[in-house]
A and B are shown apart, each in its own frame.
Chain A
Amino acid sequence: GAGVSQSPRYKVAKRGQDVALRCDPISGHVSLFWYQQALGQGPEFLTYFQNEAQLDKSGLPSDRFFAERPEGSVSTLKIQRTQQEDSAVYLCASSPLEGSNTGELFFGEGSRLTVL
């Protein structure tokens, strides 16, 4: 497809389960960002990749959150031992340029995680 693709679109997990969320960025895009968006809030930055290198992970809320992009294209956000406060929409965005300061980010539709 032409846009950023995220899967699954919806995920329900029981508290304590591990989840993995996938992001397929636009082909050839160098930069990839993950955001967490709680209901009624703006997206909160989690982490940034430039190709396969994770250059910024300052937004990851705890060591239960882990992201990877091993070949510089598809990325996976993993949340271990999920808790109710992890319930949110997880957004992935990509850009053909390095960083966010030279142009727009292209967002996917998000993965909505509900932790029971």
Chain B
Amino acid sequence: SQKIEQNSEALNIQEGKTATLTCNYTNYSPAYLQWYRQDPGRGPVFLLLIRENEKEKRKERLKVTFDTTLKQSLFHITASQPADSATYLCALDANQAGTALIFGKGTTLSVSS
């Protein structure tokens, strides 16, 4: 069956460290993968999109990698801050038409000062 798995439900790190979140998928062949941030009681907010032919993408303190052989994406936040505490969701296209973006369950990151 098709699955998207995010490595853990919760990740706790200290301020200043790098947070690494994992997204694995099975039985999909996505053309791209997206990462979103969701705060409690709010809708998800887009962070980054990476395509299958891109190995890495960066935006400020964020870095995303996409390995189609391993069927995995890694999401890194460098120099983490307490304000980075939130749930991070990965999402991929379930079909080439892009009519269904499928989300993982999310990883809740807590950054302590």
Which of A's residues lie within 8 Å of B, judged by CB?
4, 33, 35, 40-45, 48, 50, 55-56, 58-59, 91, 93, 98-110
Q: State whether B100 touches A91 (Cβ < 8 A).
A: no
B101 within 8 A of A: yes
Q: A42-B105, A43-B89, A101-B31 are in contact. Are A107 and B45 (CB under 8 A)?
A: yes
Tell me if B82 is interfacial: C-beta within 8 Å of chain A.
Answer: no
> Which of chain B's residues has its CB closest to A58's CB?
B100
Q: A105 near B46 (CB under 8 angstroms)?
A: yes
Q: How far is the CA of A42 from the CA of B36 in the complex (A)?
A: 11
Please name the residue on chain A nearest to B32 by beta carbon: A101
A-B interface, 9 closest residue pairs, ranked by CB to CB distance from nearest: A99-B98, A107-B43, A104-B46, A101-B98, A56-B99, A42-B103, A100-B101, A48-B99, A42-B105
Q: Which residues from 63 to 113 on chain B have a C-beta closer than 8 Å to any C-beta of chain A?
A: 89, 93-106
By DSSP majority rule, is chain B's interface helix, strand, loop, or mixed? loop
Please indicate the chain A residues that have their CB under 8 angstroms from the CB of B100 in the complex: 45, 48, 56, 58-59, 100
A100 touches B105 (CB 8 A): no
Contact of A45 among B31, B34, B46, B102 (CB under 8 A): B102
Q: Does A106 lie within 8 Å of B42, measured CB to CB?
A: no
Cβ 8 A contact of A106, one of B31, B46, B93, B99: B46
Q: Does B16 count as interface, using CB distance less than 8 angstroms? A: no
Do A108 and B99 touch (CB < 8 A)?
no
B101 touches A108 (CB 8 A): no
